[in-house]
Every structure is written in structure tokens, then in C-alpha cells.
Amino acid sequence: MKPLLYLAAFLLTTSVQAADRPNIVWIIPDDMSANFSCYGETAIETPNVDRLAARGVKFTNSFVTAPVCSTCRSALITGMYQTSIGAHHHRSGRGEKKINLPTNVRLVPKLFQQAGYYTSITGWPVREGRLGKTDYNFEWDKSAYDGNDWSQREEGQPFFAQIQTPGGKLRGKNEQGWQKSANSAKQKFGRATPISDVTLPPYYPKHPDILRDWAAYLDSVRMTDAMVGEVVARLEAEGVLDNTIVLFMTDHGISHARGKQFMYDEGLHVPLVISGPGIKPGTVRDDVVEHIDLAALSLAAAGIKIPNSMQAKDILSPEYKPRQAVFAARDRCDETVDHMRSVRTKEFKYIRNFLPNRPYLQPCRYKDAKSILIALREWHDQGKLNATQKLIFRETRPTEELYDLENDPHEINNLANDSKYANELQTMRQRLNDWMEETDDKGREPESAEMYESDMAVYRTSLKRKGEIEQLNVLETNVDLMKKWAAEGR
């Protein structure tokens, strides 16, 4: 057969096979923990995510491998630990110094595309000509996405669609954002979540600003739930819902003092709900899974071979052997240099702080501009925090942290120095050592000064373009401090 005829026959065969495969839709909001009714949240109702869970499977122990968006998204879209592909520093590779993926690592949408799928990525509602959030820390081929809406596909062509939404970011960072969130909730639902309905974790004080922020956050959860309902309604109206696997998961936990950027469950634990053909309705799974597993299970559901090098697992496969532990890493976030690793089982969490001589709340321009951090610092300085609430303000950290999650779900009592837990400590310590070795953790080597300066140049340019001169000065102060601490060996 002549080469062109052979190619045409191959493409025709691929198209026919692909037409029989399910569509795959990922819905991924920003900055949101599992504060949904089906996960036990009682202050609000989330009927659409609850309905999705009733139609499929809900994972109660799903965790991200990084508590910040770009590293988490870089891992998800490749099915690889961000530490294995050199994408572990938040918003890295954005300047003159670039990060290139290992040659054997492919983007999930490209694998779908090669199998005959139409690939799209969008925000919600869909805006013509605008792709959705990617935020990958490496160089990648933009042709991996065919467009921003699956409606642009060929007739009968299956689609892989990613829907990226603001999620917890809808509440903003201050009073202006909280009011906007409350107004949106009143307009859509008839009322905003009252502050009296808010129940804070015990490590946060009942400061008026923190209470208002949390109420606005819950309204952002309600708005996100409504968005999920809109996506499902569109799929149903188009007659494709019964042949579409819908996956709902957030990119990491709530953006708060102990959440985003930290290794506690508030930053790592996320909702994961999957429904669609072949998935038994009303299923609940409590084994620990990692967010990168979405890559493998999505490929498998579409009949696409999972690359041998991919670290994600098809957690829906009948042959799947449940993970005994999940792992996570936090490294530099914007200008703030850090280095943490964690391993979690259903019963215990182990955290290793590689920079123990630094404070928990290192200076960070992004987080320090939030009213909730300003409120926390204000009450700390005024002596209004109790012992639990002051934990995050420690000037140094223990090298190791160990938490009994069954008896201490808020991760308050560090058992690393308790002799009764010596065996568990050693087991978890070894688990983490083995994982770092087996997955070739690139974070074991310090980031180069050239990469740091390259990324900071982009950061400075962004603030200058926005006219945020005061914030630019904050950034410069923080960068100088990071360099000073590094020179001192901290």
C-alpha cells in the first residue's frame, strides 16, 4: 500500500474506533478543599456535586502531590510527580531559563489527540477564542489542545475536555472580594452564607475578617457547585452525558494560612468524584489515591495505552492494587524558598522539613497580601491567639512531624519525639526516603541561582506592568531575605 493510502486507512480506522469511546471531561476548580455536602459539609448545600457522586464513585482520601497550582497542574497533565520531571518549583521556567520535559513524558491531551479525540481546555462559561488555565512549569506544544470548546469537534468525534474554574479564588483576598462573592450568592441563590453558619478549624481564631472570608469561601463552593450543574446540564442537552465520564477534582486545598502551600491536609486533601459509563453508582472509596491518577484512569477509559513510564495508576482498573501511601512535595513558591516532603497513609502523616531553621510563615508577597494573613498576624502580635493557633507562627520548625490522623485529624500534636510512635516514625521515614530515591526527586539538589533570577525577572515585570510598585518593593525585600538566609545556611 502506498504511504499516503496507508496513512488515510490508519486515520479512518482510528476515527471509527475513537467514535465508540467515551468522552472524558475534567472539571478542576482552583483553591478548594472538600467542603461539599457529600463530604460532610453542613453549612451549605451542594446538590450538583452530590448528584454526581450519587451517579458514580466518591473518593474520600484523594490527595494532590503539591499544595500549589502550577506544580500540581504540571504533575496532573503528565501523570508524573512534579519532582520527577523538574517542575517542582511554583511558576518556574517562565523566564529566559526554561524547563523541558524528559523525552519519554507526553502530555495527556496529546495522547488523546493522537487517539482521535478532540482536545479542549476552557474556563466556564466558555469564552470564544480563550483557552482555560494551563499554568505548566515546562515548555509544551500548544497544539496539544485543538480549541476551547468541544462543540468545535467533527461530527461523531469523541472529546477530552478540561474545564478550569476560579473555585476558591472567587472570594478574592479582601473585603471587596468578600462582598462581591456575597452579592453573587444572593443573586444566584437568594442569600449569602451567614457568618453565624461558619465553623472554623481549631487552628484559626474567630477574627471577624477570617469569619467573613470563610463565609465567602463557602459561597464560592456553592457557585462552583452550580457550575458543575451547568456542565452536566449541557452534556445532557447535547445527548452525550450517558457516554461521558465526568471527573470533578480541585487543584489543591483552600488558600489559607495552613492550607495552600503547606503539607497539612487542608492544603493536600481534595474532593474526587467520577461518574459515567461503567462506573457503579453510589460507590464510596476510602483508599488513598493521588491526583495524578486521573491521567492514567482517563487514558484507560478511552482505550489508550498508559505509557510505561507514567507514575499515575488506573485506580478504576479491576487489577488495581490500592496504594498504601501517597506523597507530596512543596518547594519554592514564587520568591519564597522552601523544601518540604510528606508521606500519608490512612492512619498517619509524616512531614520532613528540610529547612527547619526558617519560620513556618516565611515572607511571601502573594499570601501576605491577603486580609486573612494580615488578621492572623495582627492578633498574634496582640497576644490573642491560643497555643494551637500560634503553631503556624513558630520561628523554627521540627525536622520531622508525625501525626496520628485518626485521633488528631487537624494535625496539631506532633508525635515525632514520642517514643511510643518510634516504630511508626521509622516506617514513614523510610517510606519517604525510598520514594525520593525511586522517583528521582529533583528537589534533592538546590535550585540554581540562574533559574531563581530568571523567574524573579518575570515576577518583577508582571508587577511593574500592573503598576503595583508597593508590592514590587515587598518582593525585592523578600528576595533579599531569601538570599541572606541561604548565605547563612538557613
Structural domain contains residue 427 = yes
Q: How much is the average pLDDT of 61-82? A: 98
Confidence of residue 70 (pLDDT cuts 50, 70, 90): very high
Asked whether the predicted pLDDT for residue 7 surpasses 90, the reply is no
Domains held by the chain: number: 2
Q: In angstroms, what CA-CA distances link 467 with 222, 315, 464, 470?
A: 33, 47, 5, 9
Residues 79 and 125 occupy one common structural domain: yes
The predicted pLDDT at position 20 comes to: 80
For 83-93, how does the pLDDT look when each residue is reduced to its tens digit (9 = 90+)?
999 999 999 99
Query: What is the Cα–Cα distance from 345 to 311, expressed in whole angstroms?
Result: 18
Residues 273 and 422 occupy one common structural domain: no
- The CATH number of residue 55's host domain is 3.40.720.10
Domain that holds residue 120: 3-320
Residues 214 and 90 occupy one common structural domain: yes
Structural domain contains residue 123 = yes
Residues 343 and 293 occupy one common structural domain: no
For 376-388, how does the pLDDT look when each residue is reduced to its tens digit (9 = 90+)?
999 999 999 999 9
- The CATH number of residue 368's host domain is 3.30.1120.10
Average pLDDT over the chain reads 95
Residues 67 and 190 occupy one common structural domain: yes
Asked whether the predicted pLDDT for residue 460 surpasses 60, the reply is yes
Asked whether the predicted pLDDT for residue 293 surpasses 80, the reply is yes
Give the predicted TM-score (pTM) of the model: 0.94
Residues 305 and 334 occupy one common structural domain: no
Structural domain contains residue 151 = yes
Query: What is the Cα–Cα distance from 343 to 428, expressed in whole angstroms?
Result: 7
The predicted pLDDT at position 325 comes to: 98
For 321-347, how does the pLDDT look when each residue is reduced to its tens digit (9 = 90+)?
999 999 999 999 999 999 999 999 999
Residues 335 and 293 occupy one common structural domain: no
Structural domain contains residue 461 = no
The predicted pLDDT at position 434 comes to: 98
The predicted pLDDT at position 13 comes to: 37
The predicted pLDDT at position 128 comes to: 87
